[in-house]
Structure 1
Amino acid sequence: MNAQLQNASVQQSPIEKSRTVYHILFIIGLVHLLNDTIQAVVPAMFPILAKSLGFNFTQLGMIAFAVNMTASLMQPVVGVFSDKHPMPKLLPIGLSFSLVGMLGLALAPSYGVILLSVMLLGIGSATFHPEASKVAHMASGNRKGFGQSVFQVGGNAGQSLAPLITALVLVPLGQKGAIWFTFVAFLAVLILIYISKWYGKQLLVEQTLKKHDSKKAVPVGKAIKIAFLLLVFLVFVRQFYHAAITNYFAFHLIDKFGLGIDEAQFYIFLFLAAGAVGTFLGGPIADKIGMKNVLFYSMALAAPLCIMLPYAGKVFSMVLLTAIGFILLCSFSVSVVYAHQLLPGKVGMVSGMIIGLSFGLGAIGSIALGWLGDQIGISTTLLYASFLPLIGVLTAWLPNEKKIKELHQENK
């Protein structure tokens, strides 16, 4: 009887390789949007904090460092642990940390309390991303590229709301306007309670499937390890430049063209919104030309545009930011799927490294850029940062999908 039930579970499994569970996929993408909208409040507050509390660029860089490094250091750890011990309940618990952090950020009376609050936001992000990425991986079925694009575009769309948050909420309401985003966090917690129940059921079915699957884990060879480390470095470079634009380019626009905070934030919105579109289309483009090609061209084609940006006028800056955002972020979801191919079966750890650690390393760039901006001026700093995408030429040394399969076969 038990054998019959197990066989039935295998036959009726909602995580069959051929099936995509669209409603779960789009719901987890929506929650990713809500989570990253909450995270986006932090850089959105930078112009407000600089004006109202007199923070310099170094202090703002430390705030960005605190939230991103907390998230990045914890994400790989959470990912590795959850690969061995999946924790569906961690999804709503993690967003509860974000809720408390957002409340603290809105009411923080001092720099120290702001740092503590954004660290709570970082903890919430660290506990959300690895498990949520596994939910997206499960729900994707055999459409892994599409599934990862849906999941990641939710996050990028949330990040793109930061400039609108500044213009529509924080400029008129100030720091305390952030309290409205505690309701966003509460909504995300409620949705994740439902997702965690679905996730828990799928884990039971997956355990049954594993009992019927005689495949052994593929050992990881030296070439694969080198490729993975190179990928992490390239994602770090991309995020370093991304941090330069999202955290500091508004100050460049204000200084150079005399724009207001809300006007300057519109430029950042164009960059992030175009990046969200690029994130979604990156997967389908990779299906046609290959993941390695998307990773290479997203940096190679963006590099000359990035170098032109510091010299552009008001109107041309809009055009360049839109183009750079789209091209550069085409590789966002692709880099995650590519990493999953390099290290199959380690979804949590891979997501923690690519989405978490490399982003946190980019946060180190925020401090470096902030300090340099205080020393030589933010416009000059951004001029130097514009050469970062040229490092993307190193993508040529990554193996393509066919070579990855060959490397895994050699290690069996």
Structure 2
Amino acid sequence: MKVVDGVPTVSNTHKGIHFQILGVVCTAHFINDILQSLLLAIYPVLKGTFHLSFAQMGWLTLIHQMTTSLLQPLVGIYTDKHPKQYAMAFGLAITIIGIYVLSTATSYGLLIIAAVLMAMGSSILHPIAAHASSLASGKRQGLAHSVFQVGGNIGTAIGPLLAAAIIVSHGQFSLIWFGLIAVLIIPLLLKAGSWYKETLLLNTAKTPDINKVSGLPKRSVQIGLFILVLMIFSKFFYISSFTSYYTFYLMAKFQIPVALSQVYLFAFLFAVAIGILCGGPLGDKIGRKNLICLSILGAGPFTLMLPYASLFWTGILSVIIGFTISCAFPTIIAFAQELIPNKTGAVLGVMYGLAFGMGGVSAALLGELADHCGIIYVYSLCSFLPILGLFALRLPNLKKSTI
């Protein structure tokens, strides 16, 4: 492999997998999502400091996630036509500024500003880094999305542990150290950004029709996209109940301390990361439609048992649920790419945007519901969401793609 300044050149983009590029974007996603997860992970700290209600925390999550949801598709569409070398580094830099504002915030208004800045940074980084990982993986699209997403999900899983170990003990201002550490990845992102821009421009100039699908009728494509959106709704609405309120559920039902509840949250999020890592290759092997059906529906029996489980079995079931339900997401993304060829950036932006948007809306709604009906009732209601996986049986059957 020919290397220039530590980055593979575009000459062999389609001859194999560029592990260096995958490593850089995966690491960047890991760091970005650690920073993003800290906002949710320190909710117990913020709740005590600013006397926040569940509804206020839910609205803070909604603002953060909806900002990401709205911006990501726009970034994906724009960078499909105008790839920017410095975009990934610029996105991470904005997130770091948001972390600084969060670490020094003295009011609910400043918390909102911090959430918006962090969301803006993530919105720029996510679709471009995901597209770069797709380009770097050649035809192994399931692998590409699994590797890329697992970096972010491991970061999301580690966030609560870091919050419990450092922020709970040393206070809100200790967040700033995480931002300073994130600065170290920016030079690597600049190099990866150069490779991404050159590769995308070369592909556009020489092989504009490289992505082929099975030639489905327009209505079948529309139905397929609708079902994929429904699967994203089911998955992320349920997972949002964990990322935003699982610690409060455990503390309310089992009277455990904050630090221990964060360990349970880490176990769930780590299972999510492993599920995503396994989901892409499994989808490549057994078929995307089969994997989506098994993943969403397969979580159903365990989600229905969770509200009635003891603390021990709650921990076990949450790990099983996290792994099972998360296997679907990289396959959903790859399926959407096959339905809409030659618009990779736009598809990634829209699908990731929808994922964040669903998470934000659900956090706000569940927060309001928790204030009125109690946090334990929320988990009883959400346990039925995986039943929506039945609709995945109606996904169109795709021929093997040449992506």
Structure 1 length normalisation: TM-score? 0.91
Distance in 2 between the 1:212 and 1:339 partners? Answer: 17
1:109-188 equivalent positions in 2, closer than 5 A: 109-188=106-185
Q: Aligned letter for 1:240?
A: F
Shift of 1:213: 7.4
Q: Verify: 1:191 aligned to 2:183, yes or no.
A: no
Given the alignment of the two structures, is residue 47 of structure 1 paired with residue 44 of structure 2, yes or no?
yes
Q: Does 1:332 align with 2:329?
A: yes
1:1-400 map, 5 Å: 13-210=10-207, 221-400=218-397
Which runs of no fewer than 5 residues in structure 1 stay unpaired? 1-11, 406-412
**2: distance between equivalents of 1:99 and 1:368?**
28
Alpha-carbon displacement from aligned partner over 1:302-350 (angstroms, at most 9, x marks no partner) = 0110111111111111110111111011112111111111111111111
- Contact 1:89–1:196 at 8 Å: present in 2 too? yes
Paired residues of 1:91 and 1:193 also in contact (CA < 8 A): yes
Q: Is the 8 A contact 1:237 1:389 kept in 2?
A: yes
Deviates more, 1:321-330 or 1:350-359: 350-359
Mapped to 2, the partners of 1:208 and 1:387 lie a distance apart of: 48
CA shift at 1:215, angstroms?
9.0
- Whether contact under 8 Å (2:13, 2:136) holds in the other structure is no
Q: Which residue of 1 aligns with 2:4?
A: none
Cα–Cα, structure 1 residues 91 and 41, in superposed 2: closer, same or farther, change >3 Å? same
Offset of 1:252 from its aligned partner? 1.1
Indicate how the Cα distance of structure 1 residues 342 and 55 shifts in structure 2: closer, same or farther if over 3 A, else same.
same
Give, as a single letter, the amino acid of the residue that structure 1 aligns with 2:145: Q
Could you say which residue in structure 1 is the equivalent of 2:5? Answer: none
Deviation string 1:259-310 (CA, Å, 9 cap, x unpaired) is 1101011111111101111111112211221111111111111011011111
Task: Give, as a single letter, the amino acid of the residue that structure 1 aligns with 2:24.
Answer: I
Query: Do the aligned partners of 1:28 and 1:135 also contact (CA within 8 Å) in 2?
Result: yes
Structure 2 unaligned residues grouped into runs of 5+? 1-8
Contact 1:294 1:330 in 2 (8 A): yes
Please say which of residues 33-42 and 16-25 is displaced more in the overlay. 16-25
Once the two structures are TM-superposed, the CA of residue 50 in structure 1 deviates from its matched residue by 1.1
Say which is worse superposed, 113-122 or 79-88, in terms of deviation. Answer: 79-88
Larger Rg: 1
Single out whichever of 288-297 and 196-205 deviates more from structure 2. 196-205
User: Are the structure 2 counterparts of residues 339 and 207 from structure 1 closer, same or farther at C-alpha, using a change threshold of 3 Å?
Assistant: closer
User: Which deviates more from structure 2 when the two are superposed, residues 149-158 or residues 201-210?
Assistant: 201-210
Match of 1:408 in 2: none
Runs ≥4 residues deviating over 4 A: 211-216
CA contact (8 A) 1:99 1:185 kept: yes
Deviation, 1:18, is: 3.3
Q: 1:212 and 1:124, CA in 2 relative to 1: closer, same or farther beyond 3 A?
A: closer
Q: Which moved more, 1:321-330 or 1:16-25?
A: 16-25
Q: Which moved more, 1:344-353 or 1:198-207?
A: 198-207
Secondary structure of the 2:207 match is helix
Contact 2:68 2:357 in 1 (8 A): yes
Question: After alignment, is 313-322 or 185-194 more displaced?
Answer: 185-194
Q: Residue in 2 aligned with 1:9?
A: none
Could you say if the C-alpha distance between residues 302 and 329 of structure 1 is closer, same or farther in structure 2, counting changes exceeding 3 Å? Answer: same
TM-score between the two structures when normalised by the length of structure 2: 0.93
- RMSD (CA atoms): 2.2
Please give the alpha-carbon distance, in whole angstroms, between the structure 1 residues aligned to 2:268 and 2:108: 29
Q: Distance in 2 between matches of 1:220 and 1:402?
A: 13
Alpha-carbon distance between aligned partners in 1 of 2:366 and 2:210, rounded to the nearest angstrom: 50
Q: CA 1:86 to 1:100, structure 2 compared with 1: closer, same or farther past 3 Å? A: same
Residues 362/212 of structure 1: CA separation in 2 closer, same or farther (3 Å cut): closer
Residue 35 of structure 1 contacts residue 188 of structure 1 at CA under 8 Å; is this kept in 2?
A: no
1:204 shift after superposition: 4.0
Alpha-carbon displacement from aligned partner over 1:157-177 (angstroms, at most 9, x marks no partner):
111112202211111012112
CA distance in 2, matches of 1:204, 1:370: 45
CA distance in 1, matches of 2:393, 2:209: 40
SS of residue in 1 equivalent to 2:73: helix
